[in-house]
């Protein structure tokens, strides 16, 4: 019986960002239902945000493990997270994270997991795991499209990406070059992200679906020279009833008064803050569209700005009951589930993309930076998104915002998008069990090899190739040390 079999112990180690911790947690939930024990490791400030979610249903199979990250000048413990972190402190956070390597080693020695699943910021994690004879696999929480696009640029600079539907506009291209070359993204002179892929043990897990990104998953496998294993959308499952009793119940009550598919949900993620100009153009665009909207507005910590001050003069009064503005955090999944939502104005962060597709909400794409422009082009290519085009200098234009919102919601342009999303979601659901069976088998095979392999190092670096050796050879090498 499976219940009588020894469980496989997996240590998960995401980067200190909610957009990374969330998919790791969803993967942990999925694996915990399939005879895995999970140790999910992060800083105290990040763990405090997910403790309740774990305690409700998964306390028997998911253990939260705190890692101590050094306190550096300007970076107290409450800043050991990217959430609300001032941008100038991001390099400091990465430096502090790098200096927690010894603490990771102590944790691996204590918990003795069968496998480490690590993120793409810490190339030192698989090296440490190898010293404890623990196989380590990278988990990529961004799209295969963006990952292959970046890796292609990195390996073959100046050459065209082989898929013409994926491109960057002139005002976006410099951002990608900066992302690849930025000193923030380097560790000991090497690109963090690509080193993490390189050091993964034979395969790379990715938050994706073959139904959405099949050809880009294949291309990434060729570029990385590893098997790419998609683990699914990893979207949090919940119901609107879970928030009716808390401080956000007024949101559902407001939505209940709106007609079917009549409202757009507007959110740009937890780590991007609109400039004053972008805020004004978005506000005027929503007003011009005449469509109902829920807009989640965020400001950097320490910035003493109110919603009233940030919006155009008289905007709140003019839109009245047609608009609901929420400052800070909103229950995104529950909002997207509501039948009144007919469009999702999104920055195209990958988790938001997956949520939009799962709940069959047409995505009105307004990419801002990082992977978002590439994700937006993918959505256009597969027919589940409509992009708000910027002007030649890369600025948002209110008339274009209004035009696309009206096209999707008022003129029923979103009907085709919704149909396409339903097709993709249905295909993904039909293969969900088969896909996860494959993921589990890949992980278990890697763990089984652990007892009879030596994973060599050269100058302290993990060599991904597995070298099979007899038990006597292993014993001989151990004694020689």
Give CA–CA dist 190/124, Å, rounded: 12
Nearest to 388 by CA among 169, 217, 221, 178: 169
Of 49-58, 183-192, 260-269, 429-438, the range with the lowest mean pLDDT is: 183-192
Residue that is written with structure tokens 């003019």 in the block: 318
Answer whether 8-234 and 243-427 agree in fold.
yes
Domain 8-234 CATH (choose: 3.40.50.2000, 3.30.70.260, 3.40.50.1980, 3.40.190.10): 3.40.50.2000
232 touches 436 (CB < 8 A): yes
Residue 244 clears pLDDT 60, i.e. is over it: no
pLDDT at residue 180, rounded to an integer: 65
pLDDT tens digits, one per residue of 138-158: 999 999 999 999 999 999 988
pLDDT at residue 480, rounded to an integer: 38
Parallel, antiparallel or unpaired: strands 62-66 and 461-462: unpaired
Residue 20 CB-half CA count within 13 A? 22
pLDDT tens digits, one per residue of 284-326: 999 999 999 999 998 876 677 788 888 999 999 999 999 999 9
Q: Is 221 exposed, middle or buried (CB count within 10 Å of its CB: 0-12, 13-18, 19+)?
A: middle
346 touches 363 (CB < 8 A): yes
Give CA–CA dist 409/396, Å, rounded: 20
pLDDT tens digits, one per residue of 88-106: 888 899 999 999 999 999 9
pLDDT tens digits, one per residue of 250-259: 899 999 999 9
Q: Please report which helix (H) or strand (E) contains residue 323, including its range.
A: strand 323-327
Catalytic hit among 20, 152, 338, 347: 20
Among this protein's residues, is 133 annotated catalytic? no
Of 35-44, 186-195, 273-282, the range with the lowest mean pLDDT is: 186-195
Residue 239 clears pLDDT 60, i.e. is over it: no
Among this protein's residues, is 256 annotated catalytic? no
Handedness of CA 264, 265, 268, 273 (dihedral sign): positive
Of 59-63, 148-152, 405-409, 454-458, the range with the lowest mean pLDDT is: 454-458
Residue 3 clears pLDDT 50, i.e. is over it: no
Assign 72 to helix, strand or coil.
strand
CATH 3.90.1150.10 fits domain 243-427: no
Of 1-5, 249-253, 436-440, the range with the lowest mean pLDDT is: 1-5
pTM as predicted:
0.86
Assign 427 a pLDDT band (cuts: 50, 70, 90). Answer: confident
pLDDT tens digits, one per residue of 331-375: 899 999 999 999 999 999 999 999 999 899 999 999 988 899 999
Q: What mean pLDDT do residues 392-409 have?
A: 93
The ranges assigned to domains in the chain are 8-234, 243-427
Residue % of the chain over a pLDDT of 90: 63
Catalytic hit among 18, 80, 119, 284: 119
């Amino acid at each position: 019986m499976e219940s009588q079999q020894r469980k496989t112990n997996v240590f998960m180690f995401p980067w200190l960002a909610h957009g990374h911790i969330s998919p790791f947690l969803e993967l942990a939930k999925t694996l915990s239902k399939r005879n895995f024990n999970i140790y999910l490791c992060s800083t105290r400030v990040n763990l405090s945000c997910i403790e309740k979610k774990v305690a409700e249903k998964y306390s028997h199979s998911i253990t939260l493990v705190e890692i101590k990250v050094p306190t550096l000048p300007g970076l107290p413990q409450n800043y050991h997270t990217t959430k609300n972190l001032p941008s100038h402190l991001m390099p400091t956070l990465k430096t502090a994270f790098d200096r927690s390597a010894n603490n990771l080693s102590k944790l691996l020695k204590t918990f003795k997991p069968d496998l480490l699943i690590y993120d793409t910021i810490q190339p030192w994690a698989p090296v440490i795991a190898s010293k404890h004879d623990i196989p380590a696999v990278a988990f990529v929480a961004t799209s295969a499209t963006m990952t292959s696009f970046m890796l292609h640029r990195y390996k073959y600079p100046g050459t065209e990406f082989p898929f013409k539907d994926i491109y960057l506009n002139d005002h976006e291209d410099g951002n990608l070059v900066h992302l690849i070359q930025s000193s923030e993204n380097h560790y000991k002179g090497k690109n963090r992200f690509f080193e993490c892929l390189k050091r993964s043990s034979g395969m790379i897990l990715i938050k994706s679906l073959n139904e959405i990104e099949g050809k880009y998953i294949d291309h990434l496998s060729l570029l990385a020279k590893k098997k790419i294993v998609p683990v699914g959308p990893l979207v949090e499952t919940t119901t609107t009833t879970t928030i009716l009793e808390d401080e956000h119940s007024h949101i559902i009550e407001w939505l209940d008064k709106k007609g079917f598919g009549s409202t757009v949900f507007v959110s740009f993620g937890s780590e991007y803050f609109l400039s004053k100009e972008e805020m004004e153009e978005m506000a005027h665009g929503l007003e011009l569209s005449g469509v109902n909207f829920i807009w989640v507005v965020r400001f950097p910590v320490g910035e003493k700005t109110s919603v009233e001050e940030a919006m155009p003069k008289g905007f709140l009064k003019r839109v009245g009951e047609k608009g609901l503005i929420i400052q800070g955090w909103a229950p995104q999944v529950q909002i997207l589930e509501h039948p009144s939502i007919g469009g999702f104005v999104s920055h195209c962060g990958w988790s938001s993309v997956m949520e939009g597709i799962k709940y069959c909400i047409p995505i009105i794409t307004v990419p801002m930076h990082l992977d978002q422009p590439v994700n937006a082009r993918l959505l256009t290519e597969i027919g589940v998104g409509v992009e708000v085009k910027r002007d030649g200098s890369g600025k948002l234009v209110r008339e274009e915002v209004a035009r696309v919102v009206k096209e999707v919601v008022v003129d029923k342009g979103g009907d085709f998008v919704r149909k396409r999303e339903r097709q993709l979601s249905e295909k993904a659901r039909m293969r969900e069990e088969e896909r996860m069976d494959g993921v589990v088998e890949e992980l278990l095979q890697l763990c089984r090899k652990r007892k009879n392999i030596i994973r060599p190092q050269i100058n302290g670096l993990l060599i991904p190739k597995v070298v099979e050796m007899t038990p006597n050879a292993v014993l001989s090498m151990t004694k020689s040390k």
